Structure formats: C-alpha cells, structure tokens
C-alpha cells in the first residue's frame, strides 16, 4: 500500500469529505492525488475497494460526496449507488467509470446519481465534485 503524504489542505475552505470506491488500488491513488492537488476544501474521507464495504462504512465516514467505480467485483457501481441512496437519499454520488454509454448514464440518472464522469477525465474530477457541493 502506497501512502502519499497529505498536501495543500487549505483551512479557509469548508472541508468536504469524499468516499472513493474502486477495486483498482492505483485508480484510488490517482483520485486521491487529484483531489489533493486541487486543494480547495476536498479531502479523502475513506477509500474502499468494493460496494459492500462502501455500504458498511458510509455511515461512519459520512462523506459529502461518493466517487464510485462501475465495474467492480461483487455488486457493481449502479447497485451500490441504489443501496447507498436507500440509506442516504440525498447523498451526492459521482459514477466514475472507464466505460460509460447512454444506457448506463440513463440508468444512473434514474437511480439518482448526480453525475457520470469518464475515467479519462480524471483531471477535471475535483472541480466537478466541488461544483456539485457548492451550488453557487
């Protein structure tokens, strides 16, 4: 396990915790690095590698936003999102997937997922997350 030191957290921003759910260690690392680099009140509240674990830990982590992979062993992203929203109906969720098509995006919208982001747009992920959390 690679531990990157915390960098650039700015105190004047209201901190928002993010829950990262992805079975790929390096993807989680990249998301964390991107959030740290963006450095505007976002931090990684927790990282888990599958949907079941996310459901177990979401109440304790109490994230402001969930970054959710679609293709994972066990329950997939859409199923995980459905069950998270049953527990926390107003939970903002971003589906972060390497494979998105109109069918999945439509399903995501129906479930109540706030946004779908392709993994190739990793660099714009932090601003999208922040935009969702600050309606201004």
Residue ranges that bind other proteins, judged by CB under 8 A: 2, 4, 7, 23-27, 30, 33-34, 37, 49-50, 71, 73, 98-99, 119-120, 122-123
Provide, rounded to whole angstroms, the least separation between the CB of residue 40 and other proteins: 16
CB of 37 to other proteins, least distance (A): 6
DSSP codes, 4-62: PPP----TTSPPEEEEEE-S-HHHHHHHHHHHHHH-SSEEEEEEESSHHHHHHHHHHH-
Question: How many angstroms separate the CA atoms of 131 and 136, rounded?
Answer: 8
Q: How far is the CB of 74 from other proteins (least distance, A)?
A: 8
Give whichever of 56 and 62 is closer to other proteins, judged by the CB atom: 56
CA–CA separation, 97 vs 3, rounded Å?
24
Nearer to other proteins, 39 or 85 (CB): 39
């Amino acid at each position: 396990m690679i531990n990157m030191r915390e960098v650039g957290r700015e105190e004047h921003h209201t901190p928002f915790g993010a829950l990262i759910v992805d079975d790929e260690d390096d993807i989680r690392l990249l998301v964390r690095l991107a959030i740290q680099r963006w450095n505007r009140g976002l931090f990684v509240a927790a990282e888990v590698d599958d949907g079941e674990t996310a459901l177990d830990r979401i109440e304790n982590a109490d994230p402001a936003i969930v970054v959710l992979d679609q293709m994972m062993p066990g329950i997939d992203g859409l199923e995980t999102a459905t069950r998270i929203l049953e527990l926390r109906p107003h939970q903002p969720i971003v589906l972060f997937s390497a494979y998105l098509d109109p069918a999945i995006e439509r399903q995501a919208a129906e479930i109540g997922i706030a946004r779908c982001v392709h993994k190739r747009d990793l660099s714009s992920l932090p601003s999208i997350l922040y935009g969702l959390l600050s309606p201004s």
